[in-house]
Structure 1
Amino acid sequence: MEQLISPRAEIHPEAVLGKNVVVEAFAKIDKDVIIGDGTWIGANAVIYPGARIGKECKIFPGAVIAGVPQDLKFKGEYSTAEIGDFTTVREYVTVNRGTASKGITKVGSHTLLMAYTHLGHDTLVGDYCVIANSVQIAGEVEIGDWAVVGGASAIHQFVRIGAHAMVSGMAGVLSDVAPYTKVFGLPAAYIGINYIGLKRRGFSKEQIEVVHDAYRVFYQQGMNASQAVTYMKTYLENTEQLVEIMDFITSSRRGVIKNSFKKSAVTEESA
């Protein structure tokens, strides 16, 4: 099957479309756009210059990819918005392209951006992430692989969300969310490790227990971040997960979320 492009779509002659690309009526694809094999572009989607979309993606109606950054410092410099393979972008999602800061806004492969989500300039989203409906992500946010962000949450600029973390719906995330954890509230607070998510992804009981031990130290022993990391290095098993946790904490610029809900507010499963 070759390209199936509606005669009512607007395709710039300099756009590069792979094999088996489908473009529905009234979609607009501008110059300096590359779309991979087998990708579907829904009706009324708009793909602006600088967009790089991988293979077998689905871009639903009304989505806008590579729009100009909403950043007053932006001076028209060249930048891109890149989406990996097998990623789904639902209705009215907006993905702004980068600025001079990073030059790129990037979404990984096998990721789902649900309806009305906004990704600000220079944001980096990993692979296998789920960003639920109406999540608002500011500029220069970094979200690790397999992270889940619940609907109607707001993520402050420069925040990092670690791999396998889960942000519950309607959260306000003002500081970094550590890997493998769950947060909730406004401002978001720690409510436990992402136990169910880790089990679903094949983490062993022993791996999960190391993660749990690390966050018992970080959240329950009354230590500051550097003291907690020193304790982890000294007393906990040096696994891949522990190294990732310690590296995330020590490299945080905004600080890792340290506040937590009272024990009565934490489910038995996540405690």
Structure 2
Amino acid sequence: MAVKIHPTAVVESGARLGEDVRVGPMCYIGPEVEIGDGTTFGTHCSVTGPTRIGRENRFVGHCAVGGEPQDKKYRGEHVELEIGDRNTFREFVTLNRGTGSGGGVTRIGSDNWLLAYTHIAHDCVVGNHCVFSNNATLAGHVSVGDHVILSGFVGVHQFCRIGAHAFIGMGAFVNGDVPPFVMVAQEGYGRPRGINAEGLKRRGFDAERISAIKRAYRALYVAGIPLEEARTKLMELAVESADVRAVLEFVDSGDRPLLR
């Protein structure tokens, strides 16, 4: 199907638009932008590059996509933003490109839902099937796994990691790594408050898997033992649980302290 560009929109020479792309009123598409089939832009969206956007994404309105990183060290290096397929970006979402010193690319996966005023800073990596509620903000170099939910007004400190299936409660400030499956609630800075059991049930985790994850959580957060002892316990539990192995691998692979 043909591309549809509103008469008030500006699409620079060099931009590459797939089939059935729709560009709404007062939008701007820069010269180093590639947009996949079926992607749509509402009013007043801007896309600068280098930026690559996949298929069937929806930018509702006033989104700022592919802007320069908000980093004083940035000196105009060739840096990029990559976006997968079938994401929804609501009003006033901001997505920045990477930095030369941070890997050069900000990456967002597929099938995510980013609500109004969400901000994804430079060099972040976001997985698939995530939900970021209004005003959720990632500082630079944050990594977010699949099926993560960030509630409204969540703030994540730079270089932190959030493991798959984690749930961050409304208004929590995250300044440490959050292991997979963990639920975090607001208490000044966010604090672990159990596992995301309800979310896991909705995604088909059976009682045995959830019980194993609960045992891993108790070892990390409830037993009151040093992290090295908790790690030993996780190694024992991981023998019979792939989910616990995922938690153990997360614990072993980070540079920042765990949120505890």
Q: TM-score per shorter chain, which class?
A: over 0.9
Distance 1:43 1:219 in 2: 47
Q: Aligned partners of 1:246 and 1:226: how far apart in 2?
A: 11
Deviations 1:74-115 (A, max 9, x none): 111111111110001111110010001111111110001110
Name the CA distance, whole Å, in 2 between partners of 1:109 and 1:83.
7
Counterpart of 2:240 in structure 1 is 238
1:42 aligned counterpart, secondary structure: strand
Q: How does 1:137-148 map to 2 (within 5 A)?
A: 137-148=138-149
The amino acid of 1:55's aligned partner reads: R
Q: For 1:38, give the aligned amino acid.
A: G
The residue type paired with residue 7 of structure 1 is P
Deviation (angstroms), 1:226 = 2.0
Equivalent pairs counted in the alignment come to 258
TM-score, normalised with respect to structure 1: 0.93
Distance 2:110 2:247 in 1: 23
Q: Which residue is 2:11 aligned to? A: 11
What is the one-letter code of the residue matched to 1:17?
L
**Contact 1:24–1:42 (8 Å) recurs in 2:** yes
1:93 matched to 2:96? The reply is no
Identity level (%): 39
2:215 to 206, 213, 216: 213
**Matches of 1:51 and 1:236, distance apart in 2:** 40
Counterpart for residue 108 of structure 1: 109
> What is the correspondence of 1:49-64 to structure 2 with a 5 Å cutoff?
49-64=49-64
Q: Deviations over 1:125-144 (max 9, x none)?
A: 10000011011210000000
Alpha-carbon distance in structure 2 between the residues aligned to 1:182 and 1:114: 20
Matched residue of 2:61: which SS? coil
TM-fit CA distance, 1:238: 2.9
Per the TM alignment, residue 236 of structure 1 is displaced from its structure 2 partner at its CA by 5.2
TM superposition outliers: structure 1 runs of 4+ over 4 Å: none
Quick check: 1:154 aligned with 2:146? no
Contact 2:212–2:237 (Cα < 8 Å) also in 1: no
TM-score normalised by structure 2 residue count: 0.97
Partner of 1:251: 253
Spell out, residue by residue over 1:47-70, the C-alpha distance to the aligned partner (whole angstroms, 9 max, x if none): 001111110000121101110011
Q: Aligned-pair distance for 1:235?
A: 4.7
Is 1:169–2:170 an aligned residue pair? yes
RMSD: 1.0
Question: 2:65 and 2:241 mapped to 1: Cα distance?
Answer: 39
Q: Unmatched 5+ residue regions in structure 1? A: 259-271
Amino acid at match of 1:199: K
User: Is the CA contact 1:210–1:237 (under 8 Å) kept in the aligned structure 2?
Assistant: no
Partner of 1:266: none
Q: CA deviation at 1:8?
A: 1.2
| C-alpha spacing 1:93/1:242, structure 2 compared with 1 (3 Å) | same
